[in-house]
Amino acid sequence: MWEFQRTTEFEKRFRKWPKKHSRELVALMANLQTVFDALQEGAKVAHLKFGFLRTEGKGLMRISQQGAGSGAKEFRLYIYPEEKDGKEVLHVLHVLTVGDKSSQSRDIAECHSTIENLLAHSRSD
Amino acid sequence: MSKKKMTSVEDLVRDIAPNDEFCADLRKELEASRTCRRLVALRASKGFSQSDIAERMGCTQSRISKLENSTDDKWSVEDLRAYAKAIDCRVGLSVLPLHMEPVEEVNLIAAAVERRMFSLLKLAEKDADIANGVSTFMFELFVRFGAIFGTTSKRFPRRADGTRYFECTVGMSEHEVSREEDSMENEVVCE
């Protein structure tokens, strides 16, 4: 059973999202739900194949606003699916941050750092 | 990090929505593509790519992409059938009440399980080999349901004084009866 966890960075950016780009944000969330549904259905992370999904290394994935319609601005939602082994296996889909194309390289670097922290935290558990 | 357990994007963003209309727009979008999303999730869970489906359906990958990114009302019944077949599934028809409480849904599923159990019973009457297979299946099913009740009772919230509302413990034993009877009997003990 998968569950979402979100970062404070995602919360901060989401709250301040410009109203004029609401349809892109709705599309990002609908695409995220598709990924989540596929994982719940038993899809392997490595086998996730969607037109709106790209891998960015270190387990990081980005979702595009595909489906928002023509003329939509390009946005990216960054996620990290994590399978924790322990007493019981936990499946967590981390929602790391959301940004536009201009902040892409900075966002990716920050997400990689967050993933490293998550992995370090998991190892210390 | 938020520690609240969230299992849908609506849970994920409900308390941080950027404006009042956002949650309503999101719900509308999710509702509009519910069936489509289910099919795409199944496709991914089976490890198929859009190209695999296109090949099986005899169309282009871009057509599959277009279908998958559309809303349910853009799918024809033939699209549904062909896509389902391409992911080794079939389309069934369920006409259900518009709004169902979780309890009603569980009752509906329980009734469906009961109907199928009686179908298996009829099958078992036909042949000893089938009866053997069905009895093993029923045993496994009972264990599975027992595990579901066990997990639920463990996770169920407790009363203010710390006592449980209910407890469910399922013990079981499996044994082969004599070879002369040429069948296997499963025994499950409920405590």
- Residues B102-147 have pLDDT tens digits of 999 999 999 999 999 999 999 999 989 999 999 999 989 988 888 8
pLDDT, tens only, B40-81: 999 999 999 999 999 999 999 999 999 998 899 999 999 999
Q: Which residue of B has its CA nearest to A42?
A: B45
Does residue B185 surpass a pLDDT of 80? no
**B162-174 per-position pLDDT tens digit:** 998 888 776 655 5
Instruction: Output the pTM of the full model.
Output: 0.74
Give the chain B residue nearest A51 (alpha carbons): B65
B80-95 confidence digits (pLDDT tens)? 999 999 999 999 888 8
Residues of chain A with pLDDT under 70: 86-88, 125
Nearest to A67 among B17, B26, B69 (CB): B69
Which residues in B lie closer than 8 A to residue A64 (C-beta atoms)? none
User: What angle in degrees, to the nearest 10, is found between the helix axes of B61-68 and B34-45?
Assistant: 130
CA dihedral B74, B78, B80, B81 (to 10 degrees): 180
Better pLDDT: A124 or B176: A124
With a cut of 0.95, is the ipTM above it? no
CB A40 within 8 A of CB B6: no
Candidates A120, A107, A67, A82; CA nearest to A4 is A82
The one-letter amino acid code at A70 reads S
Residue B39 burial (CB count, 10 A): 23
- Please state, in angstroms and rounded to a whole number, the distance separating the CA atoms of residues B10 and A8: 17
pLDDT for residue B2 is more than 60: no
A5 and B22 within 8 Å at the Cβ level: the answer is: no
Q: What is the pLDDT of residue B171?
A: 63
Q: How confident is the model at residue B180 (pLDDT cuts 50, 70, 90)?
A: very low
Q: Which residue in the set B2, B37, B40 is minimally distant from A5, CB to CB? A: B2
Q: How far A41 CA lies from chain B's nearest CA (Å)? A: 6
Phi and psi based region of residue A74 (left: phi greater than 0; alpha: psi -120 to 50; beta: remaining):
beta
